[in-house]
Amino acid sequence: MAGVGFADGALAQAVARASVHPFARLREAERTRVLGTLEEYLQTGSVSETSRRQYCHRNTVLNRLARVRELTGCDPTVPRDAALLCAGLDLLARETGGTEIQETQECP
């Protein structure tokens, strides 16, 4: 999600902490799969298209999206939650140049 601007650094940190920092709890391989699926889903809005692009079964996509809900409390299929996740991923990309979450970052 390009162009999300947060004038308040504290607000930006709160968004990132709530939406993407919980992924730091995952092992690197799982984090990579779940975040990749989440990003693809947020771009397409379609489980079927995400599964096609990720070369996996649609149930795998659904399971990974359920993992996102479990970790963050945000349901990527709900527009308001998807917007929060997009904002968090955008902030993360700006901070790190990608979607790598450092293991040392504080989780809520």
Q: pTM of this prediction?
A: 0.77
State the pLDDT at residue 8. Answer: 62
Tens of pLDDT, residue by residue over 4-40, are 455 566 776 777 667 788 888 899 999 999 999 999 9
Tens of pLDDT, residue by residue over 36-93, are 999 999 999 999 999 999 999 999 999 999 999 999 999 999 999 999 899 888 887 7
Burial 87-106 (b: 16+ CB within 10 A, else e): bbbbbbbeeeeebebeeeee
φ/ψ of 96, rounded to 5, equals -115, -5
Q: Residue 38's closest CA among 102, 107, 103, 101?
A: 101
- What end-to-end distance do the CA atoms of the chain give, in Å? 23
